[in-house]
Chains A and B, each alone.
Chain A
Amino acid sequence: MSVGPPSLPSPGVPGAAVQTERPTPAPTGASGPSRREGDGGRGSFVPTWPLIATKFLELRKRRGLMVAVLLLTVGLPVVVLGIRLLFHLVAPHSYGPAGSPSVFAGLTAPMAEFGFIIAATLGATAGTSDLADGVFRHLVVTGRSRLALYLARLPAGLSIVLPLVAVAFALLCFVTAYAGSPQPAALNENGVSVPLHLDQAQLEGWLLGHPEQAARAFSIGPIGVKAEGQGIVQLAPATPTDVRGFVEHNIAGIDSSYTNDELSALNPADNEMAKIGLWLELEVAIGFIVGLGLGSLIGQRTVATIMMIALEIIVTPILANVQIPYFVNGQRLVVGVAMDQLRPAGMATTGGRRIFGGHGALGIPPMPTWAMVSVIVGWIVGWTVIGAWRMATRDA
């Protein structure tokens, strides 16, 4: 019995064809250890729980990466607040309480920066580890949908980084609320006590009712000029009429200054803290998703990570701070710019944007809300599609 096709031509070697009788193929699975039909759901793009759990395991077992993730998420507030708590405990007169509005504001910004970067690193690792370790082809050979393999990485990675950021932020909130400085009963403006939590109308009413204090608190005047002899000019204090005129024309600016001072003097309100926490989680999730997509696209973890760091600490600050002529809409397409616009007020007042880190208020005109949301959703969906497409079409 020879094995082969009915008449296999043998190019270059005459007379070497192997003749055989071609068998009639039997129905699929007619022989073998066991008979099975169907693909057992492997063709579905929906990732299964075991697929997610084992990918989670694969990421969690990367000790070096996990140490870095822990340090840059939970480690940062633990170290800073721990030192402050310790110092305050040892020398309470020299060192203030660990938690304060300025510490809160000062820590949330680096938490967002480092959270984004470490999430992007984790994403790039999740997107490239199977490829780099040569396991990708094993996975593909199982017949499992490549899309399912990709989508399983999303919950696996997010379930690592999001809880850690939540814990870190909760720790910060806890220390700010329970180990912080006492909250003032009134706002101190240039030595004048101004009531807290006033809206613009209430503030205007208070200013008009207390013209002398208003003039001192918000540096209104000197407006009047009183001439004296021999060329000496003495500035006269603002009169109530002057204050009234000034307040009526500049109430928006005064209110803005009052609000900023209030935010920097007080711990954020509950809802503001919740907003900041959610914003941090969104920032980190975007970092992971974009890192995953970019890693999957490029196939190299190091390059993807470097690109993500450059995006976060160089490209985004420049584009959010410097208005390029005729390119403002292009600048707005960067997810970091949109995220800065979405930034809760409690974070936006923590200082201006700086190159090489630091976030703050946008330096370019804001975009419409729908555009901001579209940019953020577009980046999430777009990079997921790009990463999944590359994984589905890549040679394994």
Chain B
Amino acid sequence: MGSAYSAAILAASRHHFRFFGLILIVVVLAGIVYLAVRLAARRDTRPKARRPTGTDADRRAASIGSVRSPSGPAVAAAAASGDRTPREPSRPPVARLAGAHNGWAVETHGLTKRFGPNVAVDDVQLFVPRGCAFGYLGPNGAGKTTLIRTLLGLTKADAGSMSLLGVPVPSQRSRALARVGAIVDEPRFHSHLTGRENLRLLAAARGPGADGRIAPSLERVGLGERADDKVASYSMGMRQRLGVAACLLGDPELLILDEPMNGLDPAGMREMRMMIQSFVEEGRTVLLSSHLLDEVERTCDAVAIVDRGKVIRQGSIHDLVQGASAVVEVDCADPSRATQLIGEAEGLAAAIATRNDGITLTLHPGATRDTVAEINRRLVEASVAVYRLQESRTSLEEWFLSVTSRLGEHE
């Protein structure tokens, strides 16, 4: 019985020998393919030393990690060590914008995007100079994110034309986006992957060279220590920083950051601000959208004010606020006489309000400090005793509220 069984098995073995040889080959080949894919996938799981080749890609990758502004290491070191108060770098001078005569970083003409009857972006003409931090400022629902999504080709425009770094989009979108890094809305990632793996995913889409920038980018944003932790364990601030690291993979000339301060605590906002300023000092252009007036005023050199889809102002913050009215309060002995004197002088004040203890003058837009001195001189020469004279300039917030429709809504 046993020998018959063995003989039968032997016969079956011979019968299936060729077939199982084939199956074995197929399985081995499948295993090789699987291992190859898996090895390729794991290739950069560990941080690796920068390759000492002299290719352009490597040099650009090195620029992310080593060619930093003075603030770069400070931000990274502070983030890594837990010190949340690194030295804040000096603001780049607004005057540098004067040297931006080499094409706009972002340029749109008549850009319009509709969602049914709602016009989210309404005939927008936007001009962002190169080499500065530019704020796209507007209240919630003003169409900031929609404009950014349209610029990046995430959604189609209904009308108008646009270009990024002088390259028209969407006709040459791939070429334009090669030098653009962007965060749109909150930065979200595959939570089951680590920060480094998420960046590998994006680097693979970026193309050659981006892979070598992963480690420097993570170090730059202070995530080097946590790069191999799953994103699910990251705080909101860490995700924002990972988003910035993702932007840096392409060594971008232009960074577009949508509400980068959202969800950050004050220290995180400070770090983000310093990081943005360091990018500008490296010669990159940063376009950031925000509804946080204070942050924009601290971070940006120029702004565009958007309300209900329309850009209603744009220019350098200094010039825009300068262009707004200034108010001079004068406490004096004879308010009636002072009102008469100032009123008789042409061009000194746009409006005069008389108080019991003095007058309040609203100056014309563009009035300088000489105007204030002239007011004082006239009062003193007319023997009106001046006890106090104080000029108060409009802050960006006051100016913003004055030019957007939201002020009327609140009132």
CB distance from B383 to the nearest CB of A (A): 36
B34 interface neighbour in A12, A13, A52, A159, Cβ under 8 Å: A159
Q: A396–B365 Cα gap in the complex (Å)? A: 43
Q: Does B200 contact A (CB under 8 A)?
A: yes
| A141 contacts B182, C-beta separation under 8 Å | yes
Of B16-24, B351-359, B390-398, which stretch is located at the interface?
B16-24
Q: Does B177 contact A (CB under 8 A)?
A: yes
Q: Does B294 contact A (CB under 8 A)?
A: no
Q: In this complex, which of A32, A156, A167, A177 has the most chain B Cβ atoms within 10 angstroms of its Cβ?
A: A32
With contacts A48-B204, A141-B152, A182-B9 known, is A39 near B178, CB below 8 A? yes
| B192 contacts A63, C-beta separation under 8 Å | yes
A32 interface neighbour in B152, B182, B204, B253, Cβ under 8 Å: B253
Interface positions, chain A 253-300, Cβ under 8 Å from B, are 267, 270-271, 273-274, 277
| A32 contacts B130, C-beta separation under 8 Å | yes
B37 interface neighbour in A1, A139, A159, Cβ under 8 Å: A159
A40 — which chain B residues lie within 8 A by C-beta? 178, 207-209
| A20 contacts B315, C-beta separation under 8 Å | yes
| A1 contacts B34, C-beta separation under 8 Å | no
Query: Beta-carbon contacts of B149-162 to A below 8 Å, as 1s and 0s?
Result: 10011111000000
Q: A25–B128 Cα gap in the complex (Å)? A: 12
| A182 contacts B8, C-beta separation under 8 Å | yes
With contacts A53-B40, A139-B202, A159-B37 known, is A274 near B102, CB below 8 A? no
| A140 contacts B154, C-beta separation under 8 Å | yes
Q: Does A368 contact B (CB under 8 A)?
A: no
B174 — which chain A residues lie within 8 A by C-beta? 39, 42-43, 143-145
Q: Does B60 contact A (CB under 8 A)?
A: yes
Of B81-89, B261-269, B316-324, B340-348, which stretch is located at the interface?
B316-324
| B130 contacts A41, C-beta separation under 8 Å | no
Interface positions, chain B 92-108, Cβ under 8 Å from A, are 94-95, 97-98, 100-104, 107
| B26 contacts A51, C-beta separation under 8 Å | no
Q: Does B337 contact A (CB under 8 A)?
A: no
A-B pairs with beta carbons under 8 Å apart, 18 shown:
A1-B97, A3-B127, A16-B323, A18-B319, A25-B102, A25-B107, A31-B130, A33-B252, A34-B59, A50-B211, A61-B192, A134-B189, A141-B152, A141-B182, A163-B31, A163-B34, A167-B27, A273-B19
B166 interface neighbour in A3, A28, A57, A141, Cβ under 8 Å: A28
| B127 contacts A26, C-beta separation under 8 Å | no
Q: A159–B32 Cα gap in the complex (Å)? A: 11
Q: A139–B253 Cα gap in the complex (Å)? A: 18
With contacts A1-B98, A23-B102 known, is A133 near B189, CB below 8 A? yes
